[in-house]
Amino acid sequence: MAILDRFRLDDRVAVVTGASAGLGVAFARAFAEAGADVVLAARRPDRLQQTAAIVRAAGRSALCVPTDIADPAQVQHMVEAAMTQFGKIDTLINNAGVASAIPATREAPEQFRQVIDVNLNGAYWAAQACARVMRPGSTIVNISSALGLTTANLPQAAYSASKAGLIGLTRDLAQQWGTRKGIRVNALAPGFFESEMTDEYPDGYLDRMTPRMVLGRIGNPDELAASAIWLASDASGYVTGQTVAVDGGITIT
């Protein structure tokens, strides 16, 4: 196989959670362009249809499954719908997530739990349900965050804890499922990328953070999506249990 062919995902099936906006849309488009059919999961059905149109414009099939990733029953329904439509799942992009920026002394239990339920528990339910039907050679890419590795001058205890937990989950699932099931599990730790999440930051926040970015800028979603293609494809066939920071260098400053 030629080197560049190893990056192709022709006729594979990828599940993308959090596919209704932001980075989820970028992942869905990239996987379609790489040759995969895409199962789109999120809580906003109308926005999922917009993402589906992008996938279909790239010449691939799209299946929209409205899903609250924090509900294991809905996650199981998503997997069953994918299997009914396509008969297989080759890749899971565990992207669904929520953020919070609440001082720790004022954060209510339900606020903390909501972030953990989506970002960490939801990712586990999705990985668990997909792994039950995945064949050897399948891949899971968990979307963690640079905030699972460092801090960013905002009060984000719940978010940081959830993303650090996802890195630990990645390592454990990789060692559980590598030999026994032939599934590779890795994580991406994005820095700051153009998305709905960055739109909600306080005025001037990104400008203040830019000096910490070695490359001096926030990322383009396509740069993160390309990294996900690598981890999902045969190009990274000897990589598992790893967390790859795609952060412009913020975790080394």
- Beta bridge partners, 63, equal 39
Q: Which of 159, 201, 205, 238 is catalytic?
A: 159
Is 205 among the residues known to form the active site? no
- Give the Å distances, CA to CA, from 147 to 31, 105, 179, 191: 25, 19, 30, 8
Of 38, 201, 41, which Cα lies nearest the Cα of 118? 41
- Beta bridge partners, 141, equal 93, 186
- Beta bridge partners, 189, equal 245
Within 10 angstroms of residue 236's Cβ, the number of other Cβ atoms is 20
Starting at the edge strand found earlier in the chain, the sheet holding 62-66 runs 62-66, 37-42, 13-17, 91-94, 139-143, 184-190, 243-246
Contact 89, 39 (CB under 8 A): yes
The two structure tokens encoding residue 37 = 């059919």
Report, as residue numbers or ranges, the catalytic residues.
Answer: 159
